[in-house]
Amino acid sequence: MGLQCGIVGLPNVGKSTLFNCLSNAKAQSANFPFCTIEPNVGVITVPDERLNKLVELVQPQNVVPAVVEIVDIAGLVKGASKGEGLGNKFLSNIRETDAIIHVLRCFDDNNIVHVDGNVDPIRDKETIDTELQLKDLETVENRLAKEEKKAQTGGDAKAKRLVEVLHLYKDALVQGKSARSVQLNDLQQEAAKELMLLTNKPILYVCNVDEASVVTGNKYVDAVREAVKDEGAEVLVIGAAIEADIAELDTYEEKQLFLQDLGLEEAGVNKLIRTAYKLLNLRTYFTAGPKEVRAWTFKNGMKAPQTAGIIHTDFEKGFIRAEVIKYEDFIALGSEAKCKEAGKMSVEGKEYVVQDGDMMNFRFNV
């Protein structure tokens, strides 16, 4: 689908360590600021137990999981909106992503320097929020001047609506609020899409903690949860150093034993990948046969012809119908043939909205 989550944060909060755990594309990781200069892109497999069960049942020759793209972006400092540090590059890179994973340092360690001298995740969050808000305010004010002139001279309805939206955003931003905090109606949301504001992107906060806090959290995590409670954003607790240790283990069994010793059911990066996938509003449908079991990524809300087009454009152009089996029915009955016999296969037309986990066959004619 070409959608990306960008990992952001201040220098030395554990972004690149976390990225290394997520991807085989190793980002440099060291104990000094601006270690990551160019954004590193990792194409990462999405853990999905449903795919594993389908493979066990169908025994295909080939398996293709869903993937998500994660981008590790250079650390930001105060003044980035004015070009300080790697500010312009950071802001340009983040603008190109579709969602944000904001890593916050929530652990004490005298051996790892903090760019501001001490650990305070709320201050760190506000530093990045402020820089993104200032850049968005600059964008909004520049656009407002152009659109107000257009609305006055031409009476353009679209320009008038955009001016209305820009004023709402400006009011929020000057108060130190992010654009995502502004409530818009459907028409206003449509007008706002083209603005590509940094603080309008969906966001996930990742609290990077030490080993002692990975299960229960700590005072820093509690403070972050309290600070973001009105944002509608999810908070994940992960120990990046622990994830790095897990990634070094050779076998699945070794990894599971390590996790059990820590009191964890699964690796934190698995939760992070799945959450990033949903943050991008992505869902999965499956195709299954003896040659291949495959997880296909689609945008939530897509209709059957659009999702057929993900396989091949001809499937969308010549779409006739979709044959749909619910994943639970397929697993319970064991095969497509048995689902047909039991009346568990539905035939859907062009208006069918594909659901997460649907097993799909498409009929088309070009």
Which residues are annotated as part of the binding site for ATP? Answer: 12-17
Please give the Cα distance from 26 to 354 (Å, whole number): 36
CB 70 within 8 A of CB 41: yes
Please give the Cα distance from 23 to 41 (Å, whole number): 9
CB 16 within 8 A of CB 38: no
Helix or strand run (H / E) with residue 64:
strand 62-64
Pairing, β 62-64 against β 292-299 = parallel
CB 7 within 8 A of CB 70: yes
| Binding residue numbers | 12-17
Let me know how long the chain is: 366
Question: In which residue are the tokens 């679209």 written?
Answer: 158
Output the DSSP codes for 11-37: TTSSHHHHHHHH-SSPPP--SSTT---
Question: In which residue are the tokens 């409530």 written?
Answer: 183
Q: Give 151's contacts (C-beta < 8 A, 6+ positions apart).
A: 159, 160, 162, 163
CB 50 within 8 A of CB 280: no
CB 195 within 8 A of CB 139: yes
CB 36 within 8 A of CB 244: no
Exposure string (b/e) for 83-105, b if CB count within 10 Å is 16 or more? Answer: eebbbebbbebbeebbbbbbbbb
Output the DSSP codes for 148-210: HHHHHHH--HHHHHHHHHHHHHHHHHHTT--GGGS---HHHHHHHGGG--GGGS-EEEEEE--
